[in-house]
Chains A and B, each alone.
Chain A
Amino acid sequence: MGQISTTKDLSVVFIKPSRGWVLPQIRDVWVYRGLLYFLVWRDLKVRYKQTVLGILWAIIQPFFLMVIFSVFFGRLARIPSEGIPYPIFAYAALLPWTYFAQSLNACNNSLVGNSHLITKVYFPRLIIPISSVLSGLVNFGISFSILLAMMLYYQITPTLAALLLPFLTIMAMATALGAGLWLSALNVQYRDIRYAISFLIQFWFFATPVVYPSNLVPNKWRLIYALNPMVGIVEGFRRALLGKGQIICPMFILSIIIIVLLLVTGILYFRRMEKGFADVV
């Protein structure tokens, strides 16, 4: 476990049974940031080993989904796209959605996948799900370049609202991490989660305005619909990039509140279950 600390006062470790809810060790995570870096680095190094197309896979998946959606939902089903060309309407939403779905999935499997580390070395366990959310960012960045190319093609100039993109990305990260913390901790105990996750992600996909605009949802369902934080994030992405509609609206504020709640409870639950990981995983 090496660096418990770099400072003298932290180098005394007191080991005792913890009871009930415990506080997050944010400071400990900071001390172990070097390991966090190497875990992300490992994920990236390993991800496309022994593939022919390599890093292109980061683009292929959202790109072809966009093509399929454009044909089926845009052309055949004629789903309205707020006056924006359907391909870019779909891609602007697929970008945060793909990042979220991949991160959530990686997060969920992260603890079980790293069980050989958990049972042999000490480090703040929070590092593992955090690293899987961070390593997804590289794919996100690469597929973003396609979006820029598409914006050039369709001659869409981003507005000032595009400055909100980093914040929206952080929101997507926080959502994936919050939900991922819950699921990964549960997955250690109950391997059912592994099978439920693909279903959950599919369900979540249709509950998020990726292939359709959110104003298609009837007014009376809007409030329940907005409880899904990905609604605010995906709509936010679309509006920030394509410059249609207001980003900051009550729905968006609600998303932020829900994300904070999800993340805080996720961390608390994770910390509560953490002590049993090495014995159960």
Chain B
Amino acid sequence: MSDIVIHTENLSKLYRIGEYQGGYRTLRETIVNAFSAPFRYLRRHPQSSNLNPGLDLIWALKDISFEVKRGEVVGIIGPNGAGKSTLLRILSRITEPTEGWAEIQGRVGSLLEVGTGFHHELTGRENIYLNGAILGMKKGEIDRKFDEIVAFAEIEKFIDTPVKRYSSGMRVRLAFAVAAHLEPEILLVDEVLAVGDAAFQKKCLGKMGEVAGEGRTVLFVSHNMAAIENLCDKAVLLESGHITQQGSTPTIVRDYLESILRNVVSVPLSERKDRSGSGKVRFTSFHVEDNHGRSVTALQSGKDAAFVFGYSCARGEFPRSVSVGFGPFTNDGRLLFVLYSSYTAQDFQSIPPSGHFRCCIPRLPLAPGRYRIRARITVGGEEADWPKDGIGYVEIAAGDFYGTGSLGFGNNCPFLVDGSWSVTSQ
């Protein structure tokens, strides 16, 4: 056996969109198609999508070639829709590639979702066996690890209660506990750490680190750059179905974050494509203003600041009950806070066709550094615009937040809080 356990060569996956977008077709459509197709062909209708397959097809993955050695922990990163999950689905044999091939040596375990196959009518005990079997464990293996799984999930008391009576947190803990006790030689993991509370997430990361430490091969998809940098020695950057870079994790992560920055800075907000929502209202610009109302490139910690979001409504739309929210991200992808206008009961009942939303934050509580800002608009509770990569960056310079001249703890602690201290006798 060679030392390379995963080898892919020009792996590609073509998806049909458009006509097939609804997922499944009805028989009538197929019959109608079958009958009309020859006539269409005779008439040589150029607009017909069937004769222009290129219009309906999209390469979710194209020419993916890479190798993973035994014991390596490889992070796969990239923007939404880059093909990360498709790659894992192909390597897990859930779906077939359209072209190319891959060779995998060893028992593969894939964890594309937490709690696959859980049945809410069954008890915790029964679901451990069912889920374990689905993930590829043998009955004896589950028997042996049963107590460990229950202890890890912290659900001893509820083990014979139907899962439908569990809280969502308990369900996630149980599901992850089963998954964490898989012992394949190669583990494929998709963004599963995004669930559960912070303490449990930390426990899961610890378990993942253990798995990695035991010399097993792991392929790990995540948007959490901190987790990727923590766990992975190597990273692969996927962008629109292609591998654009691979190498040591810190370099790739840095380049990736910079490429997001380039996209955010160089493409005008109104022309960006990485967005979801109804489009009734859209962001058109973003800038920050200092305490004098001047547009600035950098804010200062501790000074009053305003975040200003330019918008315009779609033609003919007069949106009602509009809520705007935003949040800053640190360099390693941690979200520091989220502030929607609805939280402070300041939704906008009606808005002009275009203009600016302004959010004033007194005594800006962010430490010096660069923060990516993501923002979202909802109309009547329904998403109107959400640029996925964020709407821009703010630079924060050192400032006198505490009013004492102290700069505080430093750069790796991004949030500043004021307080008053006292001492009392017993």
Contacts and interface: CB of A to CB of B under 8 A. Distances in A.
Interface of A: 1-5, 11-18, 34-35, 37-38, 41-42, 45-46, 49-50, 116-123, 188-193, 275, 278-281
Interface stretch (B38-46, B47-55, B96-104, B265-273): B96-104
Nearest to B94: A278
A234 to B, nearest CB: 30
Contact of B116 (A34, A35, A116): A116
B66 interface: no
Interface string B124-143: 00100110011111110000
Interface of B: 15, 20, 23-28, 30, 89-110, 112-113, 116-117, 119, 121-122, 126, 129-130, 133-139, 182, 184
B97 A38 contact: no
Given A17-B96, A42-B130, A120-B94, A4 B101 contact: no
Contacts, number: 129
Nearest to A13: B104
Given A35-B133, A191-B24, A4 B95 contact: no
A11 B117 contact: no
A15 B94 contact: no
A163 to B, nearest CB: 34
A190 B130 CA distance: 29
A11 B105 contact: yes
B135 A121 contact: yes
B133 A34 contact: yes
B103 A14 contact: yes
A122 B92 contact: yes
A12 B116 CA distance: 25
A188 B106 CA distance: 31
A63 B108 CA distance: 48
Question: Closest 7 A-B residue pairs measured CB to CB?
Answer: A2-B136, A38-B133, A16-B101, A122-B93, A192-B27, A15-B102, A190-B27
B93 A38 contact: no
B121 A49 contact: yes
A21 B162 CA distance: 43
A117 B133 CA distance: 12
Given A2-B135, A190-B27, 5 more contacts: A2-B109, A120-B94, A190-B26, A192-B26, A279-B95
Contacts of B20: 280
Given A1-B136, A17-B98, A190-B30, A120 B104 contact: no
